[in-house]
A and B are shown apart, each in its own frame.
Chain A
Amino acid sequence: MADTPEITREGAEAHRPGATMNASEMEAWFVREVLPLEAILMQYLRHHWHNKGEVDDLRQDVYVRVYEFALKELPVPAKPFVLATARNLIIDRIRREHIVPIEIVADLETLGLATDTPGPDRNVMARDELRRLQAALERLSPRCREAVALNKIDGLSGRQIAARMGVSEATVSEHIDKGMCALADMLYGEPSEMARRK
């Protein structure tokens, strides 16, 4: 192989549809391009939806729509597409539920401008990231935090954590599961400190 160099021209970067990607490429795309928008998305949904208890479900529906669209055609850039999807979803829901919204759901541009600067950081300054992770860990309830830290910092397994904390493995599982969900909400659903500072 080294003797017969294969060399090919490269065109402009092609945006191939998600359907031609394998699951892990699709996951990588989603984690890289869509999840960093979650804070903005949540802000939008909370602002425009009357029932705060349903916002997580709306987020899920937005993600499913984005994913299904991406299988056909990868939206590039992702941000306007995700926000437009959120708006359409809310309009659909309003129609379906015959709600008369107090605020008109529109305003995408305003929101887009207000939140445009920070954007998803591909190369997050490492120290900001570590600080953010620490802050998230600190906000977990004490037992939950201990279980997560014993796994993430000390590398212990579920069984070892149970022994260390003197509780059953089932209890450790509860702590860990709760921690996983809370961390995703904090790390994706909330604006990073860096974004807040700006």
Chain B
Amino acid sequence: MSEPVQVRAASAAEINAHAAAWLRRRHLGNWMEQDEAELEAWLAESPANRIGYWRLSASWSRMDRLAALQPSLHQQDGVAHKGISPLWLRVAAALVVATMLAAGAGFWFAQPRATTYATALGERKAIALADGSRIELNTDTTIRLSANANARTVNLERGEVYFEIKHDPHRLFVVVAGDHRVTDVGTQFFVRREKEHLEVALVEGRARFDMPVAQSQLHSMSLAAGDVVVASARRTTLKREPIEEISSELSWRRGVLVFKHATLGEAAAEFNRYNPEKIVVADAGAARLTLNGTFKTNDVAAFTDAAHAVFGLQVDVRNGQIVISH
């Protein structure tokens, strides 16, 4: 695909047409390395090309969320596909599936076959499932795992878990956290639950996130890689983060904490999730200092030493607490 060199910027309509063709080839065709190089060359031809492509690409990837409406009505109705079933119907279908799973989950939990896994403060644990999936528990976490021929279900009581799930369309993998649930569509993700606060972040693949019926009229949304859902009892927000950022939140899998632009207060709270000796940042000014750094999750001393050396803060041990102050 060689474009004539543009002397003057082409019209918006022309650029749109080219940008759409590139985007479509990239997402719906066989995209090769040399295509990538050709696209780069086209983008470099003019800022208008670049922006036109960014613009289409941004709205096109927003549409990824529509995968929330995924239940395969298409396959199930069997007949030739004359058109698209009304979308609300798909949502309804998604809900039925979710409700059935929920009801099912309740039933399985009543069975003795559910296994409980837990970690103590500062402990990590990896569980390899027979189907090739992998589950890793972070500090102070409790889950119940149950599986039968139709579904695999994890009930997250509290804490943080990383999932690498081998997708099986006939045996969905569902994570239940209170009223919320995440259903994988072949994916890597993590879920963190602290009291009423729930965070779900997708590293790879797709998943569906279902909310309590009372909270919204839509109940269900699709998550793509980079999506982070933060849900509390009252509201649910969705944001997109660079994958590197999400990966750094997963640094606990390597036994380290990575802080980027974190405040001292946030960093202390993170350490406290892993260690029995708690850090208290005694004054608000000190708590607002920001830092970058990498620490072992259990190396509180390295952290307090750094706070002392870099910020000149006072570190005292009082009543079994580590107090940081000016």
Pairwise interchain contact A64-B9, C-beta atoms closer than 8 A: yes
Task: Name A147's closest neighbour in chain B (CB-CB).
Answer: B28
Q: Does B47 contact A (CB under 8 A)?
A: yes
B302 within 8 A of A: yes
How far, in whole Å, are A66 and B16 apart by their CA atoms in the complex?
18
- Compute how far the CA of A130 lies from the CA of B272 in the bound complex, rounded to whole angstroms: 37
Asked if B306 is at the interface of the complex by the 8 Å CB criterion, the answer is: yes
Q: Are A123 and B58 in contact (CB under 8 A)?
A: no
Residue among A67, A151, A172 making CB contact with B51, cutoff 8 Å:
A67
Q: Are A154 and B9 in contact (CB under 8 A)?
A: no
Whether, in the assembled complex, A3 has its beta carbon less than 8 Å from a beta carbon of chain B, the answer is: yes
A178 to B17, CA, bound (A): 8
Known: A30-B54, A57-B12, A137-B87. A126 touches B221 (CB 8 A): yes
Kindly identify which residue among B19, B56, B59, B291 contacts A8, using a CB–CB cutoff of 8 Å: B291
- Taken residue by residue from 289 to 326, chain B's Cβ proximity to chain A (1 for < 8 Å, 0 otherwise) reads as 11111111001001101100011000000000000000
Which of the segments A72-80, A87-95, A108-116, A180-188 contacts the partner chain? A180-188
Interface residues of B in 151-170 (CB under 8 A from A): none
With both beta carbons as reference points, the residue of chain A lying nearest to B289 in the complex is identified as: A9
- Residues of chain A within 8 A of B128, CB atoms compared: none
The segment from B66-74, B137-145, B174-182, B191-199 found at the interface with A is B66-74
Residues of B within 8 A of A134 (CB): 66, 69, 87
Given contacts A9-B311, A57-B11, 6 further A-B contacts (CB under 8 A): A5-B302, A10-B291, A126-B218, A126-B236, A127-B217, A180-B56
Per-residue CB contact flags for chain A residues 1-12 toward chain B (1 = under 8 Å, else 0) read 111011111100
A27, A130, A133, A142: the one contacting B83 at CB < 8 Å is A142
B110 at the interface (CB under 8 A from A): no
Contact call A67/B237, Cβ cutoff below 8 A = no
Contact (A8, B21) CB under 8 Å given A129-B65, A153-B67? no
B-facing mask of A21-44, CB < 8 A → 1, else 0? 001000110110001000000000
- A–B pairs, 13, beta carbons within 8 Å: A3-B296, A5-B295, A5-B305, A35-B58, A60-B9, A67-B50, A126-B229, A126-B236, A146-B84, A149-B84, A158-B29, A184-B56, A187-B59
Pairwise interchain contact B23-A180, C-beta atoms closer than 8 A: yes
- B201 CB to nearest A CB, Å: 14
**Is there an interface contact between B47 and A154, defined as CB atoms closer than 8 Å?**
no
Interface residues on A, range: 35 or more
Query: B292–A10 contact, CB under 8 A?
Result: yes
CB–CB B56/A181 < 8 A: yes
Given the known interface contacts A2-B299, A61-B9, A180-B24, the answer about A154 and B74 at a Cβ–Cβ threshold of 8 Å is yes
**Residue pair A60, B15 in contact (C-beta under 8 Å):** yes
Residues of B contacting A27 in the complex (Cβ-Cβ under 8 angstroms): 54
Task: Say yes or no for A155: interface residue by CB 8 A criterion.
Answer: yes
Kindly report which residue of chain A lies nearest to residue B44, judged by CB atoms: A23
B9 touching A165, Cβ below 8 Å: no
Closest beta carbon of chain A to B146's beta carbon, Å: 28
Q: Are A10 and B261 in contact (CB under 8 A)?
A: yes
- Chain A 130-161 near chain B by CB (<8 Å), digits 1 or 0: 11011011100010011011111111011001
Contact B59 A188 (CB under 8 A): yes
A16 at the interface (CB under 8 A from B): no
A6-B293 in contact (CB<8A) = yes
Residues from chain A with a CB closer than 8 A to the CB of B46 are 64
- CB pair A9–B236 under 8 Å, yes or no, is no
A5 near B303 with CB under 8 A, answer yes
Smallest CB separation, B184 vs chain A (Å): 14
A152/B294 contact (C-beta < 8 A), A173-B21, A184-B56 known: no
B95 at the interface (CB under 8 A from A): no
* Residues in B whose Cβ lies below 8 Å from that of A57: 11-12
